[in-house]
Structure 1
Amino acid sequence: MHVAVLSDIHGNRHALDAVLADADDRGCEEIWCLGDIVGYGADPNGCCAAIRQFATVCLAGNHDLVAIGTLSSAEFTPDAAAAAAWTRDELRPEHREWLAGLQPSGSAQGCALAHGSPLHPIWEYVLSNEQAERSLEAFDEQVALIGHSHVALSFAKAGLDPVQLARRDDGDEVLLGARRWLLNPGSVGQPRDEDPRAAWLELDPVEGRAVWHRVRYDVEGAARAIRDARLPPSLADRLQFGR
């Protein structure tokens, strides 16, 4: 079974449509979303509608929870808080209700799922070996899928050996084998690894294989939509640089 693992869409329907088309072309049978469907981009309703239609598994991210008022935006930068307030006003009632029913962690097909980390599912960015070591103690499955950092990464641990961290590029493939893993697909809608292409992860949990993919999309169209919505210009500017 091939699964497309998506995270951090952030209201960027241009990027989401490109990823969904790529996943379909590659024969993915399920879509798993690790949260932050809404956030910085100008089409929160379109992204909610698409994920509701296609995703078999979906988590809530911190931006989703702030947008519906479950969490405060006090931890956000001023631009992120402004986008959250705009998104809160834009969200249709049916999407708001749907987001309110999502959780920030879960499991599927023998994999642990968390928006942030298995230890702190909402807010923790797992970017270091030390954080990965702690997270690996917080779940029993062999593989945990995480998002939130907007960076395509893997953390692998074999027995008592130290955790191995790797940044992941387009086409990188790992065989899961007997090691334990934290896998981050990167961000669909706002990558932060200096690659502006939309990121996603192709996972075969039965064969034990994972492949990272990057997809070109209409960055200028997504940026123009942000500017037209009068969201903070920096949210549009950063898309072309992937940071």
Structure 2
Amino acid sequence: MTIAFISDIHGNFEALKSVLSKLDNLGITDIYCLGDTVGYYSQINECCNELRKRKIPSVMGNHDWYMAGGGFCLRSKSVNDCLEYQKRVIDKENRDWLKALPIHLRVGHIKMVHGGWDNPIDEYLSPNQTYFDRLEGEVFVSGHTHVQSIHKFGNKTYCNPGSVGQPRDGDPRAAFATFTEGIFQLHRVKYDMQKVFDLMKLAGFNDYYYGCLKTGANKLKKLNE
């Protein structure tokens, strides 16, 4: 059986559609989301609706937490600008769904959080041997950094599937990962960015808020968004 992991969709429905289409073509139906369905881009309801319709299990990310009632981000004005807009347009059903998301998920021997195991919602994890030596388990998956990676530490494996909606590793294509018979594989797919740009403009946002999508760059790296 193959399992797919997606993360950090951030209201980018165009990217999500491309990823899910690829997974459908691969015949993969067991999909897990590592959080941050919302944040940044304008189609948050479409993204939440799609995950809810497909019954894709998800953990809570920091942007999900902000949207569910956790206030605003203390380190980024741009995040809060997007949140102010999204809190006005999100459907009640989707806000309630975000509020009910768990902090941890587990499927078989695979452990999932959004950030890290010291702070599941908002830890920027830098994978290393010492970190994972102190954790119980063998297979770990998380998102939050928007950077795809696979690491082996003895008998332990860690994977970050990267970001569906806002990659920050120099590759603008939407990212996800699959897990088959104990082996992770990283994937990328193209999507229609222009529609995202057009919708953001209609929502009142300029290129500063979406320009990073063109190159897969972290436009606000110093702010650790």
TM-score normalised by L of structure 2: 0.92
Q: Deviations over 1:97-141 (max 9, x none)?
A: 111000222211221000001221011111353xx6325523x22
- Asked if structure 2 preserves the Cα contact closer than 8 Å seen for 1:223 and 1:236, the reply is yes
Q: Which of 197, 201, 205 in structure 1 is aligned with 2:177?
A: 201
Matches within 5 A, 1:97-116: 97-116=96-115
**Could you tell me which amino acid in structure 1 is paired with residue 151 of structure 2?**
F
Which position in structure 1 is the counterpart of 2:199? 225
Cα distance in 1 between the residues matched to 2:88 and 2:178: 34
- Give the conservation status (yes or no) of the 8 Å contact 1:32–1:56: yes
Q: Say whether the 8 Å CA contact 2:150–2:158 is kept in structure 1.
A: yes
Assess if the C-alpha contact under 8 Å between 1:67 and 1:85 holds in 2. no
The residue correspondences of 1:72-151 to structure 2 (distance < 5 A) are 72-129=71-128, 133-138=130-135, 140-151=136-147
Matched to 1:11, the amino acid is G
Distance 2:109 2:46 in 1: 30
Q: For residues 23 and 108 of structure 1, what CA distance do their matches in structure 2 show?
A: 19
Aligned residue for 1:181, secondary structure, equals: strand
Write the deviation string for residues 182-240 of structure 1: whole angstroms up to 9, x where unpaired: 11000000000010000000112xx1111100000001111221121113532221111
What corresponds to 2:190 in structure 1?
Answer: 216
Name the counterpart of 1:162.
none
**Cα separation, 2, equivalents of 1:135 and 1:226:** 39
Give the Cα–Cα distance (whole angstroms) in 2 for the partners of residues 94 and 24 of structure 1. 26
Which moves more between the two structures, 146-155 or 55-64? 55-64
Q: Hey, what does 1:34 align to over in structure 2?
A: 34
1:235 aligns with 2:204: no
Q: Percent identity?
A: 34
Task: Report the 3-state secondary structure (helix = DSSP H, G, I; strand = E; otherwise coil) of the residue aligned with 2:186.
Answer: strand
Report the equivalent of 2:9: 9
Q: Which runs of 4+ in 1 moved over 3 A?
A: none
Contact 1:34 1:113 in 2 (8 A): yes
Structure 2: state its 5+ residue gaps: 218-225
- Residue 190 of structure 1 corresponds to 166
Which AA in structure 2 matches 1:56? I
Structure 1 residues 211 and 128 mapped into 2: Cα distance closer, same or farther (>3 Å)?
closer
Give the unaligned 5+ runs of structure 1.
Answer: 159-178
User: Between Structure 1 and Structure 2, how many residues are aligned?
Assistant: 217
Amino acid at match of 1:30: D
The amino acid that maps onto 1:153 is S
Distance 2:62 2:74 in 1: 10
The separation in 2 between residues aligned to 1:136 and 1:149, in whole angstroms, is 21
